[in-house]
Amino acid sequence: MNKRFIYLDHAASTPVDPQVVEAMLPYFNEIYGNASGLHRQARASAKAIDDSRQKVANLLGRSPREIIFTACGTESDNIAILGVAWAQRQAKRGNHLITSSIEHHAVGHTIEQLCEKFGFEQTIVAVDGHGLVDPNDVAAAIRPDTILISVMTANNEVGTIQPIAEIGAIAHVRGIPFHTDAVQAAGYESLLVDVLNVDLLAISGHKIYAPKGIGVLYGRKKIPLLPPFSGGSHENGRRPGTENVPYIVGIAKAMELIQAHQDEEKPRQTKLRDKLIQGVLQSIPNSQLSGHPTQRLANNASFVFGGCEADAILMHLDQVGIQASSGSACNSGMPTPSHVLIAMGISHYLALSALRLTLGKQTTAEDIDTVLEILPQLIWKVRKQGK
Ligand code: PLP
């Protein structure tokens, strides 16, 4: 991959891996049949989808029949939440959902909409100062009419990894479907859904070196889903629409590459991340790590500095060829502090100075050294300008 700058925004999006591009290419103009057809072209497309579904199923440790290809992580979360909510309402099982205060808007806003427009109710479980959900709080929030629990596997802004298997066990004892947004965790954490006690799990292609515009939803067979879209019987009747064969091949290849390289890549990035965190905390006065010190994604180093605005930090970094983000990509450009940092008890003032540096496959030790050389002076300058 061509490197003319230091890219530390992998939580926002990743470059497509050349091996993924190579796997996808034949499916644009050599094998292009509609997989629902009967001729050879169509059968070749159908076979590519079947093979891809099997690869994804292997990584999740389940049956290919439970893999649903979608258009993105947001869509996967929506189908899971809306699909369960409508099915549970139809079966008169209840109206109450439980989620956490640090979810991505793909989950948070979807549940909010169910409550505001369609009469559902939610309990939002608080997190501690590290962004961790306490499984006991989830247990305490359960009501006889609870129909879904949704807690993300790892947070996109601060990288905190949740005790998903414990929360899932609590949900399962009570017979409540459990959904997790694993968009950021995919690539770093195990996605074996039976170990995680998860019934529905969302993945996004562009966070794992596949293109933007493709996602996966794992949906356990026994969980009733009323899909929010109607149309054909694609994806076992759970997501209608002609399959995007090249992108499906791409996300499956990306997941295969994760499986093949995770054992070296995760410790490599963890080491670089720790060097970056220690270096920043030691060299920048009043800097503070956001998120859990150890229970965090291998690629996430997030800070608040105080006395400077995030956008000014990002602009100055960009001028010297370092690309980063102030939190979730969707929040950039808005002067409101991130709901995640506020939920963690970080003050409004500090939350406005958030910096998220997220590493990836092509991040090197030299990149980290360069950032550690530049960032202390840069923060000093931005703080001075802000006075
Ligand atoms: N969930 C999390 C945790 C994310 O970080 C993102 C993207 O930033 C999404 C969901 C949405 O994924 P997509 O961009 O594929 O819609």
Distance 182 CA to ligand 1 centre (A): 9
Distance 352 CA to ligand 1 centre (A): 22
- The domain ranges of the chain are 6-14+262-386, 18-257
181 lines ligand 1 (CB under 6 A): yes
Check whether 312 has a pLDDT greater than 90: yes
184 lines ligand 1 (CB under 6 A): yes
Distance 384 CA to ligand 1 centre (A): 35
In whole angstroms, what is the distance from residue 47 CA to residue 53 CA? 10
Contact 218, 181 (CB under 8 A): no
Check whether 124 has a pLDDT greater than 50: yes
Which backbone phi and psi does 142 adopt, to 5 degrees?
-70, 135
243 lines ligand 1 (CB under 6 A): no
189-199 per-position pLDDT tens digit = 999 999 999 99
204 lines ligand 1 (CB under 6 A): yes
291 lines ligand 1 (CB under 6 A): no
Q: Taking residues 106-113, what's their average pLDDT? A: 98
The pLDDT, as a whole number, for residue 208 is: 98
Residue 294, token pair as written in the block: 């150890």
Index of the ligand 1 atom closest to the CA of residue 13 = 8
Distance 349 CA to ligand 1 centre (A): 26
- pLDDT band with cut points at 50, 70 and 90 for residue 333: low
290 lines ligand 1 (CB under 6 A): no
Contact 215, 186 (CB under 8 A): no
Q: Taking residues 310-314, what's their average pLDDT? A: 94
The pLDDT, as a whole number, for residue 25 is: 98
Place of tokens 């049956």: 63
Check whether 332 has a pLDDT greater than 90: no
Name the residue with higher pLDDT: 39 or 327: 39
Q: Taking residues 129-153, what's their average pLDDT? A: 98
Contact 132, 295 (CB under 8 A): yes
Q: Is 381 helix (H, G, I), strand (E, B) or coil?
A: helix
Q: What pTM did the predictor assign?
A: 0.96
74 lines ligand 1 (CB under 6 A): yes
Helix axes 365-386, 310-319, angle to 10 degrees: 130
Q: Taking residues 99-119, what's their average pLDDT? A: 98
Q: Taking residues 42-57, what's their average pLDDT? A: 97
Atom 8 (ligand 1) nearest CA: 12
Q: Taking residues 125-143, what's their average pLDDT? A: 98
294-308 per-position pLDDT tens digit = 999 999 999 999 999
The CATH number that domain 6-14+262-386 falls under is 3.90.1150.10
Residues assigned a catalytic role: 330
170-215 per-position pLDDT tens digit = 999 999 999 999 999 999 999 999 999 999 999 999 999 999 999 9
Check whether 282 has a pLDDT greater than 90: yes
Distance 199 CA to ligand 1 centre (A): 19
Q: What is the mean pLDDT of the chain?
A: 95
- pLDDT band with cut points at 50, 70 and 90 for residue 1: very low
Index of the ligand 1 atom closest to the CA of residue 106 = 10
Residue 233, token pair as written in the block: 């019987």
Residue to mutate (ligand 1; options 104, 214, 251; most atoms within 8 A of CB): 104
Check whether 337 has a pLDDT greater than 60: yes
17 lines ligand 1 (CB under 6 A): no
CA 229 to chain centre: 23
Q: In this prediction, what percent of the chain has a pLDDT beyond 90? A: 94
Index of the ligand 1 atom closest to the CA of residue 330 = 8
365-385 per-position pLDDT tens digit = 999 999 999 999 999 999 998
Nearest one of 207, 217, 226, 185 to 76, comparing CA atoms: 217
In whole angstroms, what is the distance from residue 8 CA to residue 6 CA? 6
Check whether 331 has a pLDDT greater than 60: no
In whole angstroms, what is the distance from residue 94 CA to residue 11 CA? 35
329 lines ligand 1 (CB under 6 A): yes
Distance 106 CA to ligand 1 centre (A): 7
Q: Taking residues 6-30, what's their average pLDDT? A: 98
Distance 353 CA to ligand 1 centre (A): 22
Give the CATH architecture of domain 18-257.
3-Layer(aba) Sandwich (3.40)
Residue to mutate (ligand 1; options 69, 156, 179, 356; most atoms within 8 A of CB): 156
